[in-house]
Structure 1
């Protein structure tokens, strides 16, 4: 267990806000830096044809109460508590971006419970490019505010044609400063992901693993997916197009790729 993270057997804490759809083997979907379970709704509705799909707001985000300082281990502990409350012992997990760190923690620290794992648009170890990008995003958040930070994330996270079609407006985007406490939480979560790294432990992951990356991802470039797949024994590597937020830009293709993998390793 990583010494910087709370124990995964932590005592009872405030419940998570979560969504549950479908029936069958349990599949937990873990969102990225934004931490909102609704990120997964288009994908969850497709996968719910064959799985019991759980998604949730990270502790302190959306409808979920805070559980102390933001930490990957705290999110992993919250996942296990949510499953325990529903009497679910075995599950598979899909972690996207920051959620991929949570999935790694679950694979390493609760191996008897995790049947298979998908690591999506995530990383093993932040390199200099990654650190500089997130440091810049933090500066934009603190100096220009929530609006500029959000638009920068969209410009980086979505393919240009998808952005123009789905997000862009006729006018220059608004740049509200946003709520100070919410901005501070986002900054803390950026520090959380930059401070978490267990790359040297990844060869211990024994569960069937699919690593998914997008060739046009500007936030977590594809070489991170390649690095992850090399570190985890027998991991499968899948390359898609669709930017960093490929579950949102190509939900049907993404869900089908996950389903093909999960059917073989349920």
Structure 2
């Protein structure tokens, strides 16, 4: 069920979200692209046992903007959505940039969070991470959104999966995208590079599963290990399937999330 919601007690812009299934509540937070539809294969599986909510980040897709892009704004949008739905406590699964949102929720609204899953995300950018995103930003600015998107696919998906699911017989048509979309994506890159609360992660008390992929070229698995070292109640799970493992291995991924939440939900 696709809906829009806002919190009437706060001057919050409408948020486009999708609600599936019944049971304990699990909120799915997408990565840099910010679109709730990223989660569709995983959400369909998990909704057999959980009340799953996914959403478009503020200013992305069907959701109205709420000022400048920031991790804090996305986290507040989650809380507003939960308030509008009358949900007091929930578990949260954040992928990539969404993992920063999940960390912010655990730090700033711990009483609302039942358990936490951090997927293909990081505690703080290292030099490799910053250089990679600096390169992606240059591609965005000089070649446009289309080339930026193709580069993200080449980095984010395993070669065999890319060849079977995304590759075409001709060279990709990457000369698309307008100035407004380019500016929004650049702002969101700056948002993730500017966010870091690594020194605070030790106070997260929720049971936490940290999922990473051995073949992730965007957020290598050592970031999962770094997160686990900083969080006293965390365990790690190493999969394969590239940065976008929820898309490339949805059944295996969803099963791991389900089993963790059953133990700690």
Q: Tell me the TM-score range normalised by the shorter chain.
A: over 0.9
Deviations 1:33-73 (A, max 9, x none): 00000000000000001100000000000000000000000
- Distance in 1, matches of 2:69 and 2:249, equals 30
Tell me, yes or no, if the aligned pair for 1:29 and 1:95 is still in contact at 8 Å: yes
- State the SS of the aligned residue for 1:107: helix
- Distance in 2, matches of 1:155 and 1:90, equals 38
- State the SS of the aligned residue for 1:17: strand
Deviations 1:109-150 (A, max 9, x none): 000010000000000000000000000000000001111101
Runs of 4+ in 1 over 4 A off after TM superposition: none
- Distance in 1, matches of 2:165 and 2:110, equals 40
Task: Give RMSD over aligned pairs.
Answer: 0.8
- State the SS of the aligned residue for 1:112: helix
State how 1:87-166 maps to structure 2 within 5 Å.
87-166=86-165
Shift, 1:15, TM fit: 1.6
Shift, 1:11, TM fit: 2.9
Tell me, yes or no, if the aligned pair for 2:29 and 2:102 is still in contact at 8 Å: yes
Shift, 1:246, TM fit: 0.1
Tell me, yes or no, if the aligned pair for 1:15 and 1:82 is still in contact at 8 Å: no
- 1:4 aligns with none
Q: Gaps spanning 5+ residues in structure 1: where?
A: 1-9
How many residues are matched? 257
- Distance in 2, matches of 1:169 and 1:257, equals 32
- State the SS of the aligned residue for 2:110: coil
Q: Could you state the TM-score of these two structures normalised by the residue count of structure 2?
A: 0.96
- Distance in 1, matches of 2:62 and 2:70, equals 18
State how 1:136-215 maps to structure 2 within 5 Å.
136-215=135-214
Q: Gaps spanning 5+ residues in structure 2: where?
A: 1-8
- Distance in 1, matches of 2:155 and 2:25, equals 32
Shift, 1:234, TM fit: 2.4
